[in-house]
């Protein structure tokens, strides 16, 4: 049977041929056009009924997740101890940048689904190739807010591939996670399942120690910007060294990442960081890692080179410290012979970095004006704190050190001294003068001694 639309058209043609009145022909022509419009409308409606909304995850299914692994080394062991898993995605066979992939997934509400796929791919690509190294896996903020899906998926992957969850270190960018309560909950859930925690990019954004103490991560990765600043600025280098020391004292391992040059490697290793990562030590690649032996040998060679340089530096440093000790004791001997303080300190003030000498009584009160090798510093900058005769310093570390250890030359930790507002260490010595305990003190600018590379011991 012919379709209805064809029958309608045939009927209209027969009617038009049988009529000769112009007005009837006009009406039929109008009817013909109307019928064509109705048929077209019907076709469009049929197409709309057959149209289906595309599956929002369909584009994600066309993404191929490839893993590469960048090695992480322990300088103390001269050994590769972990890998950070990174993705190299393809979309329909074409390279796609990871930021673009995650941005698109986030826009479509698929960040968690993507994370699950990425984590599963990393664990599967890691399995069977490494049994004695950590696997560092990055976690997105969305996953932290809704942890069950990704954590359960990773646990299932680990169990299926016989990898202990304690071998997986989950990297979290603490500053990029807006919901801090959810972040703490995620970490508790992850630790309960046996995963380790690392905080990434520490030192930028709103990173702070209060949250680090709350999170108690196994590893804290220092942001590369701090290493770059330390390469250019001596003060930044001291801050990096202090940061590493505080983190280690707080109970976390320190990883310095982004090490690309010999100079950066030297700085990173001199901080006594527990772990290092970067192109200087090893580039990302697939597993098994064919360069593992070469990379470990290169690290061993670099450590040997640094130790050789350190041995020569140490020899020169010891010579300086011996001279400092000798000249300081000479001052105390001359004071015992009633020589004026300014004359007794002349040779001592000639040593590199030595800026001021002063004398305290047993209660910590300064007994005279500062004896300086640069008297003009008093007038170069207004400083009402310079004139310190009669000031009491019994709250200072250098006073307490000397009083607690009489007869021993002690060295304070670096601090900012009031006379010139510069980084200073104070060497102090408690001895008896005219039957009374006095403390002889020497202010030194450590940044002016061997380029700031001398690590002053706590006593001489």
Using one digit for the tens of pLDDT, what is the confidence trace for 433-450?
888 999 999 999 998 998
Identify any residues that bridge with 68 across adjacent strands, giving them in sequence order.
86
Are residues 208 and 74 both part of a single domain? yes
The radius of gyration computed from the CA coordinates of the chain, to the nearest angstrom, equals: 37
pLDDT above 90: residue 137: yes
* Count of C-beta atoms within a 10 Å radius of residue 126: 22
Q: For all residues of the chain together, what is the average pLDDT?
A: 83
* Residue finishing a domain among 258, 290, 322: 290
Residue 374 lies in a domain: yes
Confidence of residue 94 (pLDDT cuts 50, 70, 90): confident
* Residue finishing a domain among 290, 315, 348: 290
Confidence of residue 16 (pLDDT cuts 50, 70, 90): low
Write down the pLDDT at residue 109: 79
Number of residues that this document lists for the chain: 460
Residue 275 lies in a domain: yes
Q: Which of 386, 358, 367 is nearest to 444 (CA)?
A: 358
Of 113-117, 159-163, 266-270, 350-354, the range with the lowest mean pLDDT is: 113-117
CATH code, domain with 411: 3.30.450.20
Are residues 92 and 27 both part of a single domain? no
Look at the block and give the residue holding tokens 């300014």. Answer: 342
Residue 377 lies in a domain: yes
Look at the block and give the residue holding tokens 């002063």. Answer: 358
Residue 309 lies in a domain: no
Are residues 348 and 265 both part of a single domain? no
Are residues 281 and 242 both part of a single domain? yes
Are residues 45 and 71 both part of a single domain? no
The DSSP output letter for 7 is H
- Tokens for 292, please give them: 């593992």
* Count of C-beta atoms within a 10 Å radius of residue 118: 27
Residue 62 lies in a domain: yes
* Count of C-beta atoms within a 10 Å radius of residue 336: 13
For residue 356, the enclosing domain spans: 337-452
Are residues 247 and 345 both part of a single domain? no
Q: Residue 165 in contact with residue 158, Cβ under 8 Å?
A: yes
Distance of alpha carbon 91 from alpha carbon 203, whole angstroms:
34
420 CB-near residues (< 8 Å, 6+ apart): 355, 377, 383, 386
Are residues 229 and 372 both part of a single domain? no
Residue 165 lies in a domain: yes
Number of domains in the chain: 3
Confidence of residue 353 (pLDDT cuts 50, 70, 90): very high
Are residues 36 and 68 both part of a single domain? no
Write down the pLDDT at residue 81: 95
Mean pLDDT of 165-187: 82
Write down the pLDDT at residue 151: 86
Residue 316 lies in a domain: no
178 CB-near residues (< 8 Å, 6+ apart): 141
Calculate the alpha carbon distances from 200 to 173, 174, 372, 405 in Å: 5, 7, 46, 43
Are residues 145 and 183 both part of a single domain? yes
CATH code, domain with 188: 3.20.20.450
Residue 97 lies in a domain: yes
Distance of alpha carbon 316 from alpha carbon 327, whole angstroms:
17
Are residues 41 and 98 both part of a single domain? no
Are residues 159 and 256 both part of a single domain? yes
Q: Which of 91, 94, 85 is nearest to 118 (CA)?
A: 85
Q: Residue 305 in contact with residue 280, Cβ under 8 Å?
A: no
pLDDT above 70: residue 50: no
More reliable by pLDDT, 111 or 328: 328
Q: Residue 82 in contact with residue 169, Cβ under 8 Å?
A: yes
Are residues 91 and 111 both part of a single domain? yes
């Amino acid at each position: 049977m012919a379709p209805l639309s064809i029958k309608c058209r045939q009927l209209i043609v027969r009617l038009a041929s049988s009529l000769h009145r112009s007005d009837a022909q006009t009406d039929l022509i109008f009817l013909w056009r109307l019928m064509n419009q109705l048929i077209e409308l019907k076709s469009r409606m049929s197409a709309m009924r057959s149209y289906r909304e595309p599956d929002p995850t369909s584009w994600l299914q066309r993404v191929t997740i490839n893993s590469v692994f960048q090695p992480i080394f322990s300088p103390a062991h001269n050994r590769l101890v972990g890998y950070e898993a990174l993705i190299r995605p393809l979309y329909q066979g074409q390279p796609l940048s990871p930021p673009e992939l995650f941005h698109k997934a986030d826009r479509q509400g698929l960040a968690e689904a993507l994370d699950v796929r990425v984590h599963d791919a990393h664990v599967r690509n890691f399995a069977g190739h490494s049994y004695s190294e950590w696997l560092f896996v990055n976690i997105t903020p969305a996953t932290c807010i809704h942890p069950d899906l990704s954590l359960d998926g990773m646990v299932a992957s680990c169990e299926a591939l016989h990898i202990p969850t304690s071998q997986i270190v989950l990297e979290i960018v603490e500053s990029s996670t807006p919901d801090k309560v959810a972040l703490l909950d995620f970490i508790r859930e992850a630790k309960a399942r046996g995963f380790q925690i690392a905080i990434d990019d520490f030192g930028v954004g709103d990173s702070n120690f209060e949250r680090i103490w709350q999170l108690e991560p196994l590893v804290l990765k220092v942001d590369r910007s701090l290493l770059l600043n330390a390469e250019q600025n001596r003060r930044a280098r001291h801050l990096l060294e202090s940061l590493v020391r505080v983190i280690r004292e707080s109970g976390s391992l320190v990883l310095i990442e982004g090490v690309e040059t010999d100079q950066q490697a030297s700085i990173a290793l001199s901080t006594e960081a527990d772990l290092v990562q970067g192109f200087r030590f090893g580039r990302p690649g697939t597993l098994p890692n064919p360069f593992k032996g070469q990379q470990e040998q290169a690290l061993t060679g670099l450590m040997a080179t640094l130790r050789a340089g350190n041995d020569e530096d140490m020899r020169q440093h010891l010579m300086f410290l011996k001279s400092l000790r000798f000249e300081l004791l000479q001052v105390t001997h001359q004071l015992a012979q009633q020589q004026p303080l300014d004359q007794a300190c002349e040779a001592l003030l000639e040593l590199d970095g030595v800026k001021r000498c002063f004398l305290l009584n047993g209660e910590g009160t300064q007994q005279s004006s500062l004896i300086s090798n640069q008297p003009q510093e008093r007038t170069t900058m207004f400083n009402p704190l310079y004139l310190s005769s009669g000031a009491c310093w019994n709250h200072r570390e250098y006073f307490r050190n000397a009083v607690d250890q009489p007869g021993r030359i002690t060295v304070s930790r670096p601090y900012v001294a009031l006379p010139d507002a510069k980084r200073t260490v104070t060497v102090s010595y408690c001895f008896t003068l005219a039957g009374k305990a006095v403390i002889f003190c020497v202010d030194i600018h450590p940044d002016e001694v061997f380029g700031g590379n001398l690590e002053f011991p706590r006593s001489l």
